[in-house]
Structure 1
Amino acid sequence: MTITETRRTTLPLVLLAGLLLIAFVMRAPFISVAPAIADIQAALDIDSATAGLFTTLPVICFGLATPLVLVLTRRSGINNSMHIALAVVLAGIVLRSAGGLGAALAGTVVIGLGITIANVVVPVIIGRDFAGRTTEVTGFYTAAMNLGAMTATTLGAPLAGWLTWRWALLTWALVVLLAALAWKRATPVTQESAPPEPTGVPSSKTPMNRRLVAGMVFCFAGQSFSYYGVTAWLPTLLADQQSLSATQAGGSASLFQMLALVSAFGLPWAIRRGLSSRAALLLVCTCWISLPLGLAFAPALWVLWSCLGGFAQGGGFTVIFSVVVARALNSDDARRMSATVQGVGYILGALGPIIVGAVHAATGSWVPPMLLVAGMIVVMAVGGSLGIGARPTGTAASR
């Protein structure tokens, strides 16, 4: 077997394993806070608004720090940027559990900064090293990310009760270390730079398809607002409406994360067999909107709504970023498109938990905030449909 043949065999296995471990820790370190929030509030003597910062600050970082990530990736390269991302997340996890409120909030910001780097870098790696399989690998990436979130949601409260909240949150440092080792093993078989660009398509000067980017920005904003708004408050909503304990509500809410695995694998399979990206998006939005409307008007069927919404939230992420990767002309274009869509989308997504919580507090009901989430899903459907329908630029394929 030649070196080239060996590399073709090794690359997907080693690199995919590294990406899946990284994806596993790209949401769990801060989602794990929600099931243990009561213990954290008691230990740090803080109110609910301050406690909410532990889940909103990382998402704010996803939006505001994205321009800095573009500078980092240009100077350090894609592979080194991922090493930096994992080191920063690890440092943030340790800092968060090391002291009082100041250290906890500072560590949370550091975690957000590290994950922001990974958010931008992963789609570039998928487009660069998995050409021809971007939709499937994006689905694997989404599945692993939701598996991490599901694990954090399910085990958060039991671990906090057994180990105390500080040690429970610190356990994620071990998983990050494992992901860092996997990425170090994968790095030698990745391509640090993209293959030569087609003649006449200079990566640094190629304008992005503005209609595509604008549409996907609105689409991802609706997806992020809905996902983080529901993730932050679903355990509380279930406890209020169904009289579940904190542990039961956390475990029940994990259905919302678990069903994302179905769409993460199922939608790439369907798209590969002829389902258009627009049809996939509209299917996702139809399932998505059933969750807030169902919880508002038929809460007794919350298991069904959680399953449909979970399917949708995983599918939405998969469809959005498979389109971004597929329409990019080259690695630089993918990096800039990914940063733009995520930079704006995550800023609005960070407002989801805050606004949903504020509307609930003001009205004393879960119906108005759920209707607000439904409205953002409509924005997602319209923006995504318009963006996907944009005329391809240059030589990028339309999918």
Structure 2
Amino acid sequence: MTTQPETDRRRPYVPGSGGPLLVAAIVLVALNLRGPLVAVSPVVDAIRADLGVSAGVAGLLTSLPVLAFALASPPASWLIGRLGPERALLVGLAVLGAGTLLRSSDGVAGALVGTALIGVGITFGNIVVPVVIGRDFPHRSGALLGVYTAVMNIGSMITLSITVPIADGVGWRYALLTWLVVALAAAVVWRLATGRRRGDPALPDEAPEPARAPWTRPVGWLLLFAFAGQSFSFYGLTAWLPEVLGDLRGLPPATAGAASSLFQVVAVAGALVTPLVARRTSLRLAFVPVAAGFLALPGGLLLAPALWPLWCSLAGAAQGGGFTVVFSAVLAASRNSTENRRLGAFVQGGGYLLGALGPFAVGALHEAVDPPAWDLPLAVVFGALLVLAVSGWTAIGQLRTGR
């Protein structure tokens, strides 16, 4: 009697076949996509003192990963196409784990190289998860993209809450190493959820005609500009919002830091509500409160800074919903998984490249006048968000034409 090959015993891939275990895997992966980056912020003073580095070098521990998102997106997309999303994500989690170990090793070089590797590893998740959501949950993709975005923000909130207490007990190195446990858990559940599929999972629904290059399509550039406007504003405001509130409203540093957390916390609600609005109306109408809410923060701080809790709340909900809208549009503009992967990598590569400039640009513009003021940087952020509004509205309008 012959033994049936292992590949034949595996269940075949069926588009739209995602189940609860895959949802759990996506949630665990999403926890890894922002938490390891945010973990540095609460303990940056301890890191500087231990490593003996300047504020500029310490700042690289938060800006390097965003730059890695941009630079690693094209090669990561290529490797995902070669390996398939399932195996490629395991590679990404392995790189993330190696970077986490190296970041907590002794020395400045190890911290910087480890931080860059963390950014590269996260890039795989940034690209793979939306592709898998669109492929395996076609009828629930908007809702699951919202959950995915919300969980990334929840991971950031958890990190900001627990990193300092852990560091107080065992030091910053071990506090940052705790993320290795989350990465291992995600890898195990992801493997269980996807490891028994047969065939090439990379192109399960490939169209007969070749996939369209994203840079040849107007909608690709429009979505890139929209995501660039969001990323530039998000990272610029995240880095400087406590100082802005302190200078404009006289809030002490601790209060300003807690106040700016509204910008992060309310993002969970925006990520979950936006897909519901899109489902009941349309993606284009769901984008309207996203654009308006985000514009409210720099505009409101310029015109009525006393209402900062309102502006921070509106913009927080908008930035959570904006990520969901952009990648729902990427999915809607793609005929198959290959186009989804390539378009997503194209949008993220350009968007994160400009996003990495946000903190530097906002800080430099603040210091460009004497005495330093926030009018010019907030006006530039407002302009970037106008790019998000116009590009996003136009891109979603073109989805019906397939351009």
Same fold (TM over 0.5): yes
> Aligned partner of 1:151: which letter?
I
Q: Return closer, same or farther for 1:44/1:301 CA change in 2, 3 Å cut-off.
A: farther
Counterpart residue type for residue 188 of structure 2? L
Deviates more, 1:358-367 or 1:90-99: 358-367
Q: How does 1:323-362 map to 2 (within 5 A)?
A: 323-362=329-368
Q: 1:235 aligns with which of 242, 249, 255?
A: 242
Q: Distance in 2 between matches of 1:362 and 1:227?
A: 21
Question: 5 Å matches for 1:41-56?
Answer: 41-56=48-63
Any idea what the Cα deviations from partners look like across 1:71-106, whole Å, max 9, x if unmatched? 211221110000011111111111111112111111
Relative distance call for 1:361 and 1:34 in structure 2 (3 A) is farther
CA distance in 2, matches of 1:244, 1:304: 19
Residue 305 of structure 2 corresponds to residue 299 of structure 1: yes
Residues 1-399 of structure 1: pairs in structure 2 closer than 5 A:
11-188=18-195, 192-198=201-207, 201-202=208-209, 204-208=210-214, 210-240=217-247, 241-246=249-254, 248-274=255-281, 276-363=282-369, 364-390=372-398, 392=400
8 Å CA contact retained: 1:36, 1:160: yes
My pick for the range that moved more, 294-303 or 126-135, is 294-303
Letter paired with 1:371:
A
TM-score by length of 2: 0.89
Whether the aligned pair in 2 keeps the contact of 1:154 and 1:254 (CA below 8 Å) is: no
Query: Distance in 1 between the 2:366 and 2:47 partners?
Result: 22
CA change 1:190–1:326 in 2 (3 A) is farther
The CA RMSD over aligned residues, in Å, is 2.4
Aligned residue pair count: 386
Q: Structure 1 residues 96-105 or 311-320, which shifts more?
A: 96-105
Taking structure 1 as reference, are residues 305 and 164 closer, same or farther at Cα in structure 2, changes over 3 Å only? farther
**Is the alpha carbon distance of 1:279 and 1:189 closer, same or farther for their aligned partners in structure 2, counting shifts above 3 Å?**
farther
Q: Distance in 1 between matches of 2:167 and 2:302?
A: 31
Letter of the 1:195 counterpart: P
Counterpart CA distance in 1 for 2:72 and 2:108 is 22
SS in structure 2 at match of 1:224: helix
With normalisation by structure 1, the TM-score equals: 0.90
CA distance in 1, matches of 2:52, 2:244: 23
Deviations 1:259-295 (A, max 9, x none): 1111111111111112x22222221011111112233
Residues 160 and 375 (structure 1 numbering): CA distance in 2 closer, same or farther, change over 3 Å?
farther
Structure 2 gaps of 5+ residues are: 1-9
Residue 392 of structure 1 and its aligned partner are, at CA, apart by: 3.9
Gap regions ≥5 residues in structure 1: none
| 3-state DSSP of counterpart to 2:352 | helix
| Distance in 2 separating the partners of 1:162 and 1:377 | 41
Conserved? CA contact 2:16–2:136, under 8 Å: no
For residue 60 of structure 2, what is the amino acid of its counterpart? Answer: L
In 2, are the aligned partners of 1:55 and 1:232 still within 8 Å (CA)?
Answer: no
Conservation of the 8 A alpha-carbon contact between 1:153 and 1:250: no
Given that residues 10 and 189 in structure 1 are in contact (C-alpha distance below 8 angstroms), is that contact kept between their aligned partners in structure 2?
Answer: no
Pairwise CA distance, 1:358: 1.6
The residue matched to 2:358 in structure 1 has which SS?
helix
Of 149-158 and 252-261, the range deviating more from structure 2? 149-158
- Distance, in Å, in 2 between the alignment partners of 1:295 and 1:365 is 12
Q: Deviations over 1:269-324 (max 9, x none)?
A: 111112x2222222101111111223334333332222111101100000000111
Q: Could you tell me how far 1:335 is from its partner in structure 2?
A: 0.7
CA contact (8 A) 1:35 1:250 kept: no
Larger radius of gyration: 2
Instruction: Specify the alignment match of 2:6 in structure 1.
Output: none
Letter in 1 for 2:359: P
